[in-house]
Amino acid sequence: MKRRVVVTGLGVVSSIGIGKEEFWKNLTAGRSGIGEVARFDTKRYKRHFGGDIKDFSPEDFIHKKSVRYVGRATQLGIAGVKLALEDAKINPAEMDERKKTCIILGTTMPEDDLIDHCTGNLVSRKTKNISKNDILNLFPHSLIHNISHFLKIKCNGLLIPNACGAGNFAIGYAFDLISKGAYDLGIVGGTESFSRIAFQGFQAMRAMAEQKCSPFDKNRQGMLLGEGSGILILEEYGNALKRNAPIYGEVLGYGQSCDARSMTIPQKEGVFKSMKKALDNSGVSADKVDYISAHGTATIANDKNESAAIKELFGSRYNNIPVSSIKSMLGHTMGAASAIEAAVCCLAIERGVIPPTINYETQDPDCGIDCVPGVSRKYNVDVALNNGFAFGGNNCCVVFKKPGPAVLNGLT
């Protein structure tokens, strides 16, 4: 019999707040973290707005002498992990390999600031400015190593580079490992720094809006880039009860699909399949879903196809299910996106509030869903579905459920 897996800690670092409380306050107030990019000079670009974090100080989470040894994605990840462990009432110093802990994180292109640094110096032939440490931290797996090292967590780690769906893939894989007894606790989610490469790339694809991200709006112009980290502590249900841990929700299951068609355009069939698999794997019927955290990038193709898949899966009740996109406030945080959105699902379940989709002005008949426009909504959420879709058609959806009496009293 599979063991139950619950969420006992949340750590969020974003452009609208660092820590779950500040993040949630600003999210439900509909505040935007989008502004003129400060991470680098954008004068030579056509676009100048994004969701880079203006008030993040890595020294708040890691010794100042150590900051220079890691890239920004790792710094954001360390902050998210530290916040999540504190929220779960877990002291990293008390963790060891006997606790059967794993760290599984998702990302897209970690440490792009180091890539910029190294390539810039190579082009200008200033190779002496490239240190051994720079090279070592260019490897994607260094992200997991550095987080474990600087927080002194002895455990097994895995990096999942499945782009914009990576956070959900990490949650799903950890769910399998814990439910089957391989591990008792998982530190999972995603982290991503604001990337010059992605900033230029999305402009080259003409997928980036000028100043605002408007998911599901008829006049949407595209996505905006963001950064941050979203970390969840997943724990075997019995252990969580024994130590009287806070429980935000239960992970019921997940579903994956791969379109294997277009690198950049999500397919309705693949989106539908991943949502359907998530519900089937969780043992949840479509009429039990109360809230959908949309992938909602504000590109023409994504919003149209995601909406069409929702309509097909949920039938006549599709317009009675609130579907919001927090990318309207944060921008697209890439590898951290679905992880932050998973934290949103847990908080929506715990607090009975659904965050809004801001910048929504004109209904698009090709979408036509209830996207909770403009203002957050008090709403009882028992079951939430979190959507995460990535380039290459790599889709992953996760189902969360409220920890009601049936869960809390169900331990045998």
Among 102, 118, 155, 164, the one annotated catalytic? 164
Question: What single string gives the DSSP state of each residue in 346-377?
Answer: HHHHHHTEE--B-S--SB-TTT-----BSS-E
Residue 175 in tokens: 């769910």
Cα–Cα distance between 229 and 340 in angstroms, integer? 7
295 is catalytic: yes
Among 295, 345, 346, 367, the one annotated catalytic? 295
As a whole number of Å, the end-to-end CA separation of the chain is 12
Look up tokens 């989106």; give the residue: 271
Q: Please name which of 236, 206, 235 lies closest in space to residue 222, comparing C-alpha atoms.
A: 206
In 117-271, DSSP assigns E strands to: 156-160, 185-192, 228-236, 249-258
Look up tokens 């049936």; give the residue: 406
**Strand duo 377-378 + 353-354: pairing:** antiparallel
Do the Cβ atoms of 26 and 255 come closer than 8 Å? no
**Strand duo 185-192 + 228-236: pairing:** antiparallel
List the Cα angle 263/265/267 in 5-degree steps.
Answer: 110
Phi, psi of 74 (to 5 degrees): -65, -40
Among 102, 118, 155, 332, the one annotated catalytic? 332
Q: Which residues are catalytic?
A: 164, 295, 332
